[in-house]
A and B are shown apart, each in its own frame.
Chain A
């Protein structure tokens, strides 16, 4: 018993004298609670919506007004031509389009029944289902008012169309996220650990005191992992497309090209981490803590980014996987080409270039 108490006292001393342990013990849970607490709301607010109004009559305008005053929606614009619907979705921020047919009001009062069309971007099936149900509620509410005080017979029937993912497959949501996670995590981990291992074992010393250009070392470390990651990517794609029914509507070449940029980004990050750590243990810790959490939280595949408070959404912008996620979904699910995603690709490329430059500059050609 005595021994137990003495040992416990010693363990407390070890913990409080080591900053790394303290950070993990207290810092991590606090960070997690704050982040998850804010991110985990299922309620969607201010979702951008487009109204296509062929009727432009009193009923359509009234319903539109209810939609616009609802906290869940923000009407981005009203269009009058079906041709523009596809374009609206391609812009990326619109998740839902409501279409009022030409004789909406007339049909409602003369035949007591009218249809409206609700088209949702189902590449994120959960969000699509939620938004659709909000519209349903609004429409039902209006319907009740028309019929009040009695249970009348006027019906508004929403015809729902799930775009891009008519079967509402869940895989479309998480497979791109998993791709981002795997590529980022594995690449960063592998590069950082491999370089730090040389430092830890002492072989780095011998390599430095040789004619070998240090950058040759870096490239030699990066290339095998680059190719292995592409193989990894291929395996994931094959499994998701054939086993999980993930659609592939876009260009495979474009997908690989963009994935290559992400892999390069990850390799640079790995290099940066290895520049500032001395042991493999620390490298692994920083990678897992510093990468896993942000990638899961801020890519947008576990928790829709639109639900998060504004400051967190800004933070999400510096996480490379957020942009990769959008790009992959656009290519695989929506079948879009480079013209639609060039902004995101540019951002990702700039991030990668920046990281590469910083990490190369930071690389220590001496031991101190």
Chain B
């Protein structure tokens, strides 16, 4: 196990804000591990504790065999860190930023160039441009290069795809997959549920607590009910009607379809006769589907909490 987290808790504002509550998980060497959750879930706090920037109130953690409190200097020498907002020097050029970070890690750009080559070739035409003038996608690629330039053992990427367009996001994940082959342990945090499927294992986190840890498939297999995708011509009305129905346990909109689960095993046609003719839902379609990570997240969010929201 390359990263071990045991019972980590952290509060801010003299205990008023509980950012992390008894969080535990472990990441294998060379694994691509995703931490999935919305803003305020505790992802950034967790990363800051693992990169030794914050001290936890309770619990222990170790990265690549070094304790985050006792051996923080060792950790700072061998991890790569890409914080949430763009944290490079806006008024230095692409090349200057890279050379700077290589030197503070006591290495040169040439030494580990092979590692970042695939990414850097896209940046090379802009190497004399000031980092502040790059587009979101380019900034992200540069930040990744600077985090990799010293060939870290573990890579921490805090929301690297937030605020970046869909095309760049896809490219970024391709780059991460290629990096995996180099044996670098990668921890990525993201609020985008669809990116969960691109990780080997994921931890779902909400309000400072871990909801579930497993492979994406493992998590979706744990979804307790059979889900169905439903659509008709009037989606808004359909959702309202579905929620009113006694037979429907849960109904949420998911883009083109609604995802619903039934409360008892009625088979495929409990709705069609009751609701649909009554409210004239034309072009009705329903089919069974496997749950997505987002379905599971919603299910896990609503399970224990009844009086919140």
Direct contact of A and B (CB under 8 A): yes
Report A-chain residues with C-beta under 8 Å of the C-beta of B79: 209
Q: Residues of B contacting A367 with CB < 8 Å?
A: 48, 53-54
Q: Chain B binding site: helix, strand, loop or mixed by DSSP?
A: loop
Q: Check A209–B76 contact: CB distance below 8 A.
A: yes
Give min CB distance, A221 to chain B, whole Å: 14
Tell whether B244 is near chain A: CB-to-CB under 8 Å: no
Closest Cβ of chain A: how far from B30's Cβ, in Å? 21
A368 to B11, CA, bound (A): 12
B55 CB-CB contact with A under 8 Å? yes
Name the A residues within 8 Å of B105 (CB-CB): 210-211
Is B87's CB under 8 angstroms from A366's CB? no
Q: In the complex, A205 Cα to B156 Cα: how many Å?
A: 13
Contact string, B73-100, partner A, CB cutoff 8 A, digits 1/0? 1011101010111111110000000000
Chain A residues near B101 (CB-CB < 8 A): 206, 210
Interface string of B53-69 (1 = CB under 8 A from A): 11100000000000000
Task: Tell me the count of chain B residues lying within 8 A, CB to CB, of chain A.
Answer: 25
* Total inter-chain residue pairs, C-beta < 8 Å: 53
Whether B87 contacts A206 by the Cβ 8 Å rule is yes
Interface string of A191-214 (1 = CB under 8 A from B): 000000000011101111111100
A203 CA to B90 CA in the complex, in Å? 10
**Least CB separation from B53: chain A residue:** A367
Interface string of A357-368 (1 = CB under 8 A from B): 000000000111
Q: Is the interface of A mostly helix, strand, loop or mixed?
A: loop
Residues of chain B whose beta carbon lies under 8 Å from any beta carbon of chain A: 48, 51-55, 73, 75-77, 79, 81, 83-90, 101, 104-106, 146
Closest B residue to A367 using CB positions:
B53
Known: A367-B53, A367-B54. A207 touches B104 (CB 8 A): yes
Is the Cβ of B76 less than 8 Å from the Cβ of A211?
yes
Q: Report the separation of the CA atoms of residues A201 and B101 in the bound assembly, to the nearest whole angstrom.
A: 16
Name the residue on B nearest A202 (C-beta).
Answer: B87
- Chain B residues whose CB sits within 8 angstroms of the CB of A207 once the complex forms: 104
**A120 to B104 alpha-carbon distance, docked (Å):** 60
Chain A to chain B: the 6 pairs with minimum beta-carbon distance, closest first: A202-B87, A211-B77, A209-B81, A212-B104, A367-B53, A209-B51
- Roughly how many angstroms separate A209 CA and B155 CA in the complex, as a whole number? 12
Known: A206-B83, A211-B76. A201 touches B90 (CB 8 A): yes
B146 surroundings in chain A (CB, below 8 A): 206
Residue of B nearest to A365 (CB): B72
B52 touching A366, Cβ below 8 Å: yes
Residues of A contacting B54 with CB < 8 Å?
366-368
Interface contacts beyond A202-B86, A366-B55, A367-B53: sample of 15 additional A-B pairs, CB < 8 Å, sorted by A: A202-B83, A202-B87, A205-B53, A206-B81, A208-B53, A208-B76, A209-B52, A209-B79, A209-B81, A210-B76, A210-B77, A210-B101, A211-B76, A366-B54, A368-B55
Q: Which residues of B contact A212 (CB under 8 A)?
A: 104
| A207 to B85 alpha-carbon distance, docked (Å) | 14
Contacts of A211 in B (CB 8 A): 73, 76-77, 104-106
> Is A366 a contact of B53 with CB atoms below 8 Å?
yes
Chain A residues positioned under 8 Å from B48 (CB to CB) = 205, 367
A212 to B102, CA, bound (A): 11
Q: Is the CB of B53 within 8 A of A209?
A: yes
A207 CA to B87 CA, complexed, in Å = 10
Q: Are B85 and A202 in contact (CB under 8 A)?
A: yes
